Amino acid sequence: QVQLVESGGGLVQAGGSLRLSCAASGSIASIRTMGWYRQAPGKQRELVATVTTGTRANYADSVKGRFTISRDTAKNTVYLQMNSLKPDDTAVYYCNADVRRAGLTFYLPYWGQGTQVTVSS
């Protein structure tokens, strides 16, 4: 099985920073794209940022210039550095990874359990 475990969420004042981490473990042969999504109360889950194996990053317009996604391929870990946080960034943040399990030839999406980020005004 494959597990994604997030950490780093919390409560921060507007203008502050947080760094999220997500480590994938289990019977992993390779990981393609890794990313972060978020879901605020009463809203649909939305993409925040993704990063490919070649470290090409993609960001939602709402976080460009404030958030930075990175990954450590050797550790199967993805990070999200969040700066200049705003109350609108308040949400549960979910890690996502496209994983090929050992012995298989195809990739499947896996999700973490989510970590709460709350930005106070």
Average pLDDT, the chain: 97
pLDDT of residue 55: 80
Q: How far, in Å, CA of 97 to CA of 2, rounded?
A: 10
Query: Are the C-beta atoms of 97 and 3 separated by less than 8 Å?
Result: no
pLDDT of residue 53: 87
Dihedral sign, Cα of residue 42, residue 58, residue 35, residue 32: positive
Q: How far, in Å, CA of 77 to CA of 89, rounded?
A: 22
List per-block mean pLDDT (blocks of 10 residues) for the chain, which spans 121 residues: 95 98 97 98 97 92 98 96 98 98 96 97 94
pLDDT of residue 54: 79
Q: How far, in Å, CA of 92 to CA of 13, rounded?
A: 16
Query: Are the C-beta atoms of 71 and 34 separated by less than 8 Å?
Result: yes
pLDDT of residue 64: 98
Q: How far, in Å, CA of 29 to CA of 79, rounded?
A: 20
Query: Are the C-beta atoms of 37 and 6 separated by less than 8 Å?
Result: no
